[in-house]
Amino acid sequence: KYDSCVYLKDTDTESIIYILLYVDDMLIACKSKMEIVKVKEMLKGEFEMKDIGLTSKILGMKILRGRTKDILTVTQKSYIAKVLKKFSMEKSKPVTTHMAQHFKLSHQNSPKSEEADYIKNVPYANAVGSLMYVMICTKPDLAYSASLVSGYMGKLEKLHWEALKWILRYLKGTIEAGLLYKKHEESAGNVTGFVDSDYAGCIDTRRSLTRYVFQFYGKTISWKCNLQKVVSLS
């Protein structure tokens, strides 16, 4: 039913084995290298598998390790470069903000008649899908803008496409940025959450937009941005 799954297994050595499965791609993580070897041998006995060793890339994400400093970085530079080229934005001028204030996006204004042919040929849904994948994997800073432009699939006008291209220009300027995870032995292993919302920020529905990000050991692990289901009165 699902394309991706996460499995956990406790071991006799008090180490937890994490198995992340997406279709036919798999990641195995554990503090004990010996336990990883055991799991691999067990799986090879049941399935035809190919072990490609230490992970460096998966599902468009590149994993870089800094062994001397105990850091791990996850980026999507190659994937973003392909997205920019696909939508003819590889030579565009980078910007430093993911959404400019002059974009007042709304359903209220229908596309102008002279824009109809232009809008018809715009690959908007495809571009939004690519943008959402980058946001979900490595770009929490895109959560707001991606949520904003994804709401106009059915009633598109030129301004919406211009806003989306602005976000692609922001991606070009931050193509090297990603998620950084660093080892901190002294840090408390608490989950910390940050939540914020605007007030009646949606022009069409007057619903508020809620944003959150959660961190574990001070490292970002979960984020989201979406409209509230009801209209806030204050």
- Predicted local distance difference test score (pLDDT) of residue 85: 95
Mean per-residue pLDDT of the chain: 86
Give this prediction's pTM: 0.82
* 95-100 long-range contacts, CB within 8 A, separation 24+: 95/166, 95/169, 95/170, 95/173, 96/170, 96/173, 97/170, 98/141, 98/142, 98/144, 98/145, 98/166, 98/167, 98/170, 99/144, 99/145, 99/148, 99/163, 99/166, 99/167, 99/170, 100/163, 100/166
* 68-72 long-range contacts, CB within 8 A, separation 24+: 69/182, 70/182, 70/183, 71/180, 71/181, 71/182, 71/183, 72/180, 72/181, 72/182
- Predicted local distance difference test score (pLDDT) of residue 153: 81
Of 10-14, 35-39, 101-105, 109-113, minimum mean pLDDT range = 109-113
198, burial (CB in 10 Å: exposed 0-12, middle 13-18, buried 19+) = middle
pLDDT at 154 over 80: no
Q: What tens digit of pLDDT does each residue of 168-219 get?
A: 999 999 999 999 988 766 556 688 999 998 888 887 788 888 999 998 888 8
Q: Mark 165-195 as b/e (b = at least 16 C-beta within 10 Å).
A: bbbbbbbbebbebbbebeeeeeeeeeeeeee
pLDDT at 1 over 70: no
Tokens of 146: 């991606």
